[in-house]
Chain A
């Protein structure tokens, strides 16, 4: 049995999303869904509702201070938008902010991990918007979750993660190359998790294959965007996800229309601006310190 499969077999009790998120996903798949039903569902989870409203009122979504209720959030963000925002808040919440003082937190600080992940989400959304894709918020979620498997390693197989991190640190390997030596894969683990969460393929494919895009998949475009956004966020120096390098960008990703001809100066400026507005997500990752102000 391969090491990876053994590892997956060892992992039980993967973290679960709040029940409301699963119900919300099911509800939104139903064309008959009404604002009222979504509102009633979210009322079951007041903590989540509070976070949803905090995010919806942040500068990132551009409705500063105008979203007073869930029904208004649905009107302004759409059903899909509400689900994506609630999902983002839940996932960040689920894993907390990590420990401190030991070698593992030294080599893999969780707050920097989230900064990187948020950066990849922001870069994906900016790309999706500039290419006029129909669902930029979903691109954000795919980017936000792309490395979630590393948190599974941190929680369930910290010894494996530490070996990978030491290889990166001591031998200057990229995270992916170090993983190959240890026969583990954060991408495969992440995919396992989001599949268990029953998230759509538009999320699970990028999580599972952002280092090796499968070009024939219907979701290849988002996966390629995540690969590029990952490289971009690292190149821009945003956060840290275990190593100090940019992983390989596949030529077919680099040559994709929209990426190949990207005006980098303009894109960086837009990214920086959006990233500043996304500080509300970093606050969530830091454990919702204080109330924070909308806007």
Chain B
């Protein structure tokens, strides 16, 4: 068993202990394999670190980032850059659809790189 910060969780890791809320209700059982959506939820619930099974393996290196620089930047900073890029395209439905997808994608990348 090892303790991993929520920001460093990776899909495929397995919980070594159940995750419980303040009332003691089980949110995720021991042995649950973490998917991306589970990891997102764990972060949303506010857990700082989580016990997972296994030794002291290093997490896999992240693939190189495409597009907006996310390393060492806060979400607010990156978001402001994206907002500026799209600021001349607010009347295009297609570009607003793209903006939504870009915000979601980049936010995920910022979170993935936070704390690395």
Contact = CB atoms under 8 A, between A and B. Distances in A.
Say if A and B assemble together: yes
B98 interface: yes
Contacts of B63: 276
10 contacts: A174-B88, A235-B86, A235-B89, A237-B68, A246-B89, A247-B88, A249-B94, A254-B94, A268-B105, A279-B64
A227 B12 CA distance: 40
B102 A268 contact: yes
B105 A237 contact: no
A238 B67 contact: yes
Nearest to B109: A272
Given A272-B66, A272-B67, A279-B64, A235 B88 contact: no
Interface stretch (A74-82, A140-148, A186-194, A259-267): A259-267
Nearest to A274: B66
Interface residues of A, number: 28
B101 A264 contact: yes
B85 A246 contact: yes
B105 A265 contact: yes
A265 B101 contact: yes
Contacts of A260: 94
Which 7 residue pairs spanning A and B have beta carbons closest together? A237-B68, A264-B101, A237-B67, A254-B94, A236-B67, A272-B66, A245-B88
A264 to B, nearest CB: 4
Contact of A249 (B81, B87, B92, B99): B92
